[in-house]
A and B are shown apart, each in its own frame.
Chain A
């Protein structure tokens, strides 16, 4: 029972982690909390739905096209709406992302309607796989596999590639990074694109479980914010750890106590952690020497 709860909690948690990673890289490079992250994922999922249902493109093709769409959507939002804000205040930036969130939400409702749809998926929620004593539904197995692969690829990219290192450099000191030759504005747009892809993958993976409607990402995004905060908001590994532990924690609460308390207890623990360790589990802060 215990191991079972942990494994299926991990599957949910890995989705939080994907969204949280997107939040963290945007926060680090643009210093903005991207409230539109969930809605970008939701729209991308609807796009995948349209490709599948209306245009009858096979699942893999629809998936890839939706990923490309989310990439472009993320970059377009940054270029069209955030870049023109030249000397923005942090609050102004948050309002912009909230605005984007509302626009996407309304647009999705207008285009696809507010009724709940079934997301057609080749993965079954009822077919199960046995791993020793643990059972996993096919959907959860795929969620776990896909998000682990994606997260590893992502962390390798950030750690070892020139562009990945430049993204981290920009987040610490954009002026100096420019002086080294990094084309900062484009790299920032690219982080928005990558963050959107992470969200889109999470959305498409979760859709067969939660069904499809414009509200589908509200709760996951809230959890992702909590996961990112838990992990320290500026730490990539922290977002992964934060997402995983949040998923496990709420599943344990749901399993041993009552499902009603799932959300409350999860957030109670986060508040507790933040009181004891304000910079999160893995947050690191260097004070600049002047």
Chain B
């Protein structure tokens, strides 16, 4: 469904992404894992057209058509919804108005009503707060609102950027459960996370990103069993310092 081939992304003269390829097949949850600054958000922003003139090289294809050079307004109309990190709600709009904005590109009033009911069914708490300003919601509720707002566009592909960030563990579980349900009901998902353990439990396939490169990719189950992944991402072994191996590799290239 989404195919990224060998892209490079620059911020000015600085290369943030260095030859990344990945694929998201229809109906799946694919997760892109990596630490802070690995380049996860950069990739998502590029897919949805936020970084002008990027990718510098490489191709991004969605449903067989190139996305390169399109702007965000066009890309969302192709059926891709990007749910930004850090809960980018419209604070001074009500919950209801936030949801309305999510459906901005839609004209199909009937289906829209159905999708709205679906969102309120996933997140009953939003139904109780419809006419409250979104800025007054708790962190968890805000995360639910941005996911619900994204669903209002009825996307084919949903790009989720660190939905677990800053949420209490119980809330993380709940949010991931809903992501899984959304996928089971037909939406393809590219899930970006630092919380590898949670992400790999609901994903079908995973990619590991380090310093702008994919260093490993496999079925989610295999990644959960992989020794390196267990050491560095799942925090199971403690004798090696986090990032030790990659730091080592990187220095080799420089010297």
Contacts and interface: CB of A to CB of B under 8 A. Distances in A.
A289 interface: yes
Contacts of B100: 162, 165
A176 B97 contact: no
B86 A177 contact: no
Nearest to A168: B93
B179 interface: no
Given A172-B92, A175-B50, A182-B73, A166 B104 contact: yes
Contacts of A166: 101, 104
B26 to A, nearest CB: 22
Nearest to A164: B97
B91 A179 contact: no
B57 interface: no
Interface string B105-134: 100000000000000000000000000010
Contacts of B93: 165, 168-169, 172
Given A179-B72, A181-B76, A286 B91 contact: yes
Contacts of B82: 179
Nearest to B96: A165
B102 interface: yes
A178 interface: yes
Contacts, number: 71
Interface residues on B, range: 20 to 34
Contact of B48 (A177, A179, A182, A288): A179
Contacts of A183: 73
A173 B135 contact: no
Nearest to B106: A181
A178 B90 contact: no
B77 interface: yes
B135 A169 contact: no
A289 B91 CA distance: 10
Contact of A286 (B71, B73, B88, B92): B92
A289 B139 contact: yes
B46 to A, nearest CB: 13
B101 A180 contact: yes
The 3 lowest CB-CB distance pairs between A and B, nearest first, are: A181-B105, A286-B135, A286-B91
Interface of B: 48, 50, 71-73, 76-77, 81-82, 84, 86-88, 90-93, 97, 100-102, 104-105, 133, 135, 139, 149, 153
27 contacts: A162-B104, A165-B97, A165-B100, A168-B90, A168-B93, A168-B97, A169-B90, A169-B101, A172-B91, A172-B92, A172-B93, A176-B84, A177-B101, A177-B104, A178-B73, A179-B82, A180-B76, A180-B105, A181-B72, A181-B73, A181-B76, A181-B104, A182-B73, A184-B73, A284-B92, A286-B133, A289-B86
